[in-house]
C-alpha cells in the first residue's frame, strides 16, 4: 500500500511539473505580444536584451559562481564575439558569411581568449585575479579602439556598421513576417531566437552544475588546496571554467552584433562587466534561477526608472531632478538595501544560504561572548 501511494504521488508530481512547464512555455511564447500591446514595441527590445544578459550572466556564473574565480573583465569575451561576427558579416572586409558559421566561430574564438586569460592567472586568487582580469578587459577594449592604423582591422572608435542580420532560408530576422494573417515584427523574431538559445544555455548550465566537472569547480571554489589533494587537476579545471564562460559570452556578443547592426568599443566598458557581476550577486551567486532573476531585474529596473521624470511632473507639476541622475541614485540605493537585507542574494543556492547562516550564528556568538567578557 505504501509503494502504491508513493507511485501515485510520483505520478501526481510529474503531472504537476508537466502542467507547470506548459504554462511557462505559453507565457514565454506570448510574452512579446503581451508586452508589445501593453507597454509598446520598445519594451520588446528590452525583452531581447533581457535574454542576452541572461546568457551573459550564466556564462560569468561558471567562472565566478561555480569556480570562485573573480573576473572583472568578462565583457572582453562579449566584445570578441561581437567583433568576430561584425567583421565576418559586414562590408568591412567584404565577407558575408552565414550566421551558422560565424556564431560558433565567435564562441570558439572567445573560448580561446578565455584560455589565454586563464593560463597566466592560474596562481592568482582574490583581489589579484580581479585586477588582472580587469586589466585584460580594458586591454581588449583599447585594442579594438586603436586597431585602425596602420592596417584598418576594427575601424577604431567609429565601429563597424551595416552588419548582416541573422538570416534563415533567405529570410532575415530584421524584417516582419506574416504568418496566418498575423504580422510578427523583427524584434519579436529575434526574441524567439534568443529565447531558444537562452534555454539551451540554461540546459547546458544545469548539466554542468550536476556533472563531475561542476563538482570539481565547486571544490576549487571552497578550498583549492584540498581539491588538489583529492586529485583534481586544478589547472585544467580552471582553464575549462574560463573557456566555457567565455564561449557563452562570445555567443551573446555575436547575437548582439546581429541584433544591433552596429558595434563599437564604447559598448564594452568596465561598467558592463560590473553590471553583469551585480546580476550574479543580486540574484544569488552559483544558483541558476537566482542568476536569471538578477539578470531580469538589473535589465528591466534601470529602464523602468526612466519614467521618474513623468512621475515628478504628475506629483509636483515639474521635474525637480534630472531623471537620469535620479535613476542611477534609486538604482544604487536598491542594490545597497538588497545587499544589507539579503547578502546571499534574492535566490541563493542552498549551500550559500547555509554558509551565510552559519557565519551569522558564529558572529552572533562571538559578539555575545565579547560583550559578556567586557561586562
**In which band, very low, low, confident or very high, does the pLDDT at 368 lie, cut at 50, 70 and 90?**
low
Lowest mean pLDDT among 171-175, 241-245, 262-266: 171-175
**In which band, very low, low, confident or very high, does the pLDDT at 180 lie, cut at 50, 70 and 90?**
confident
Judged against a pLDDT cut of 80, whether residue 326 lies above it is answered with no
Does some domain include residue 267? Answer: yes
Predicted model pTM: 0.88
Question: What is the residue whose three cell numbers read 570558439?
Answer: 108
Between CA 361 and CA 348 the distance in angstroms is 18
Does some domain include residue 181? Answer: yes
Does some domain include residue 364? Answer: no
Does some domain include residue 135? Answer: yes
pLDDT of residue 317: 79
pLDDT of residue 359: 56
Locate 159 and state its grid cell.
Answer: 565601429
Judged against a pLDDT cut of 50, whether residue 210 lies above it is answered with yes
Q: Can the peptide bond before residue 146 be classed as cis, meaning omega within 30 degrees of 0?
A: no
Does some domain include residue 290? Answer: no
Lowest mean pLDDT among 113-117, 171-175, 364-368: 364-368
Give per-residue pLDDT as tens, 31-47.
888 888 888 888 899 99
Span 357-373, average pLDDT: 54
Give per-residue pLDDT as tens, 257-282.
999 999 999 999 998 999 999 899 88
Does some domain include residue 316? Answer: no
pLDDT of residue 181: 76
- Torsion (CA) 308, 313, 314, 317 in degrees, nearest 10: 150
Span 101-121, average pLDDT: 93
Nearest to 99 by CA among 201, 205, 190: 190
**In which band, very low, low, confident or very high, does the pLDDT at 307 lie, cut at 50, 70 and 90?**
confident
| Range with top average pLDDT, 10-14, 96-100, 331-335 | 96-100
Does some domain include residue 6? Answer: no
Does some domain include residue 81? Answer: yes
Q: Which domain holds residue 44?
A: 39-285
Length of the chain: 375
| Range with top average pLDDT, 84-93, 170-179, 294-303 | 84-93
Locate 67 and state its grid cell.
Answer: 569556480
Q: Which residue has the higher pLDDT, 53 or 42?
A: 53
pLDDT of residue 1: 46
Count of structural domains, the chain? 1
Q: Which residue has the higher pLDDT, 294 or 312?
A: 294
Judged against a pLDDT cut of 50, whether residue 176 lies above it is answered with yes
List % helix, strand, coil for the chain (3-state, nearest 5). 75, 5, 20
The residues near 360 (Cβ < 8 Å, ≥ 6 apart) are: none
Q: Provide the 10 A C-beta neighbour count for residue 352.
A: 18
pLDDT of residue 12: 60
As a whole number, the mean pLDDT across the chain is: 85
Distances (CA, A) of 276 to 48, 140, 357: 16, 17, 26
Amino acid at each position: 500500500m505504501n509503494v502504491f501511494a508513493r507511485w501515485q504521488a510520483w505520478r501526481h508530481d510529474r503531472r504537476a511539473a508537466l502542467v507547470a512547464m506548459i504554462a511557462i512555455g505559453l507565457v514565454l511564447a506570448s510574452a512579446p505580444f503581451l508586452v508589445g500591446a501593453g507597454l509598446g514595441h520598445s519594451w520588446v527590445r528590452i525583452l531581447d536584451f533581457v535574454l542576452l544578459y541572461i546568457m551573459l550572466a550564466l556564462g560569468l556564473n561558471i567562472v565566478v559562481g561555480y569556480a570562485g574565480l573573480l573576473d572583472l573583465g568578462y565583457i572582453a569575451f562579449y566584445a570578441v564575439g561581437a567583433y568576430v561576427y561584425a567583421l565576418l558579416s559586414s562590408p568591412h572586409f567584404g565577407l558575408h558569411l552565414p550566421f551558422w558559421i560565424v556564431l560558433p566561430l565567435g564562441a570558439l574564438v572567445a573560448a580561446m581568449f578565455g584560455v589565454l586569460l586563464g593560463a597566466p592567472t592560474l596562481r592568482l586568487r582574490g583581489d589579484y585575479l580581479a585586477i588582472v582580469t580587469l586589466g585584460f578587459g580594458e586591454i581588449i577594449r583599447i585594442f579594438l579602439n586603436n586597431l585602425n592604423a596602420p592596417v584598418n582591422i576594427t575601424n577604431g572608435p567609429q565601429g563597424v556598421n551595416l552588419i548582416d542580420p541573422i538570416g534563415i532560408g533567405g529570410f532575415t530576422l530584421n524584417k516582419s513576417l506574416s504568418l496566418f494573417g498575423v504580422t510578427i515584427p523583427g524584434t519579436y523574431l529575434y526574441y524567439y531566437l534568443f529565447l531558444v538559445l537562452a534555454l539551451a544555455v540554461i540546459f547546458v548550465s544545469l548539466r554542468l552544475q550536476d556533472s563531475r566537472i561542476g563538482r570539481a569547480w565547486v571544490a576549487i571554489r571552497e578550498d583549492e588546496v584540498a581539491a588538489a589533494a583529492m586529485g583534481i587537476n586544478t589547472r585544467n579545471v580552471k582553464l575549462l571554467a574560463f573557456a566555457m564562460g567565455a564561449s557563452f559570452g562570445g555567443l551573446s556578443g555575436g547575437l548582439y552584433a546581429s541584433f544591433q547592426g552596429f558595434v563599437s568599443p564604447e559598448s564594452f566598458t568596465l561598467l558592463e562587466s560590473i553590471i553583469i557581476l551585480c546580476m550574479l550577486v543580486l540574484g544569488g551567486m552559483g544558483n541558476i534561477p537566482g542568476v536569471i532573476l538578477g539578470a531580469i531585474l538589473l535589465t528591466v529596473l534601470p529602464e523602468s526608472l526612466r519614467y521618474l521624470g513623468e512621475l515628478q511632473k504628475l506629483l509636483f507639476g515639474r521635474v525637480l531632478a534630472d531623471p537620469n541622475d535620479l535613476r542611477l541614485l534609486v538604482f544604487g540605493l536598491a542594490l545597497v538595501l538588497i545587499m544589507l537585507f539579503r547578502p546571499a542574494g534574492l535566490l541563493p543556492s542552498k549551500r550559500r544560504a547555509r554558509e551565510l547562516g552559519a557565519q551569522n550564528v558564529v558572529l552572533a556568538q562571538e559578539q555575545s561572548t565579547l560583550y559578556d567578557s567586557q561586562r
